[in-house]
Amino acid sequence: MLNWYLQTAKNSDVVISSKIRLARNLSQFNFYIQDTKEILKLENLMQENLSQIGYGLRLIKLRDLDELTLQTLVEKGLITQNIAINKQKVSILINEEENICILINNKDHLRLQVFTSGLELEQITNLCIEIDEKLQEIFNISKSAKYGFLTACPTNVGTGMKISVLLHLPGLSRTNNLLKVIRFVSQFGIEISKENVQDIYKISNERTIGITEEDIVKNVQSIAEKIIEQEREARKILLKSGVELEDTIFRSYGILSNCKKISQNEAEELLSNVKLGTDLGILTNLTDSKIKKLYLYTKPANLIKYFGQELSFEEQEIKRAEIIKQITKD
């Protein structure tokens, strides 16, 4: 089965991926574990209970991974760059499909993450709550009758739930309507931020306390659906430019599919146009699945992993062009 980040799903034309994260802590440990003995004690506790937790999870100590493998996890969005830097004290519980990744000792003792392609919040919420209930059966989770789940960071107290949705918004961005969207979502306790990839933005909830998990999910789902609707309307406006839009898209595809070398930044910029063209039906020889492969395997670490050899910066640019040809021609 394909890993979640290579799968297509509902609203994949606009939504890249969705993630739910729950912050949980164990009563027998202090917050912010730094002591090596305590770190090992927490890791051993997780290892001993793996079969009870289930879901095909395996424990991986990040300090045992080489830098390249760590960076592939960062590029997939499973861990952050900061976690990779602090690898000595952080481990993960992860399944084969990589849609479940529980961070161990990253600020909180446990940070349960469930991922999906597209906008499938109900599906991943159900899975996330199911896993959370299993963890609460096995471990003594820190919880207050008044405040809810206790967390290392006060902003996570309560539900400990954080939902993030990555969206591709070239229509709103290029019709200069993005600022209106930012103002709109901020009224509902939703934060929107620009990612380091062309035309991709992240929305997430700000509140975790004084609100139920169900309300958080409904709120983010509702806002995401409104943004999707606005983005599709903005794309209709772009379509009215006719040959201008088509020229931009076909030029981008032409460079991507015929270049001999290309940088990551240029590839991502052109990929935004090509994804837009694919989603609008202007480019008919590509699919959402191919677009997802292009985004993943043009990133440096996953590119190097794919070819299984050390690559200099210039060699990466050459191999990036090579893999783009492979994916687009298949």
Domain boundaries, the chain: 4-235, 243-329
Interatomic CA distance for residues 36 and 7, integer angstroms: 39
Q: Is 168 helix (H, G, I), strand (E, B) or coil?
A: strand
Q: What is the CATH number of domain 4-235?
A: 3.30.590.10
Interatomic CA distance for residues 255 and 114, integer angstroms: 36
How does DSSP classify residue 209? S
HSE, side-chain direction, 13 A CA sphere, residue 97? 15
CB 324 within 8 A of CB 261: no
pLDDT in the model for residue 1: 67
Separation of first and last alpha carbons in the chain: 19
Query: Measuring CA to CA, which residue among 224, 104, 81, 113 is closest to residue 166?
Result: 224
How does DSSP classify residue 215? H
pTM (two decimals): 0.94
Region of 11 please: left (phi>0), alpha (psi -120 to 50) or beta: left
Strands (DSSP E) found in 118-168: 143-144, 148-149, 161-168
Instruction: Supply 159's token pair.
Output: 């539900």
pLDDT tens per residue, the chain (330 residues)? 689 999 988 899 999 999 999 999 999 999 989 899 999 999 999 999 999 999 999 999 999 999 999 999 999 999 999 999 999 999 999 999 999 999 999 999 999 999 999 999 999 999 999 999 999 999 999 998 888 998 988 888 899 999 999 999 999 999 999 999 888 888 888 999 999 899 999 999 988 888 899 999 999 999 999 999 999 999 999 999 889 999 999 999 999 999 999 999 999 999 999 999 999 999 999 999 999 999 999 999 999 999 999 999 999 999 999 999 999 987
pLDDT in the model for residue 256: 96
Instruction: Supply 292's token pair.
Output: 């997802």
Give the H/E segment covering residue 233.
helix 213-239
CB 182 within 8 A of CB 87: no
Strands (DSSP E) found in 195-298: 200-205
CB 21 within 8 A of CB 112: yes
Question: Alpha-carbon torsion 216, 222, 223, 227, what sign?
Answer: positive
Interatomic CA distance for residues 187 and 189, integer angstroms: 6
Would you tell me how many other CB atoms lie within 10 Å of the CB of residue 285?
10
Name the H helices within 21-107.
36-48, 50-53, 67-75, 81-85
pLDDT in the model for residue 155: 82
Q: Which residues pair with 191 in a beta bridge?
A: 204
How does DSSP classify residue 10? T
The one-letter code for the residue type at 225 is: E
CB 283 within 8 A of CB 254: no
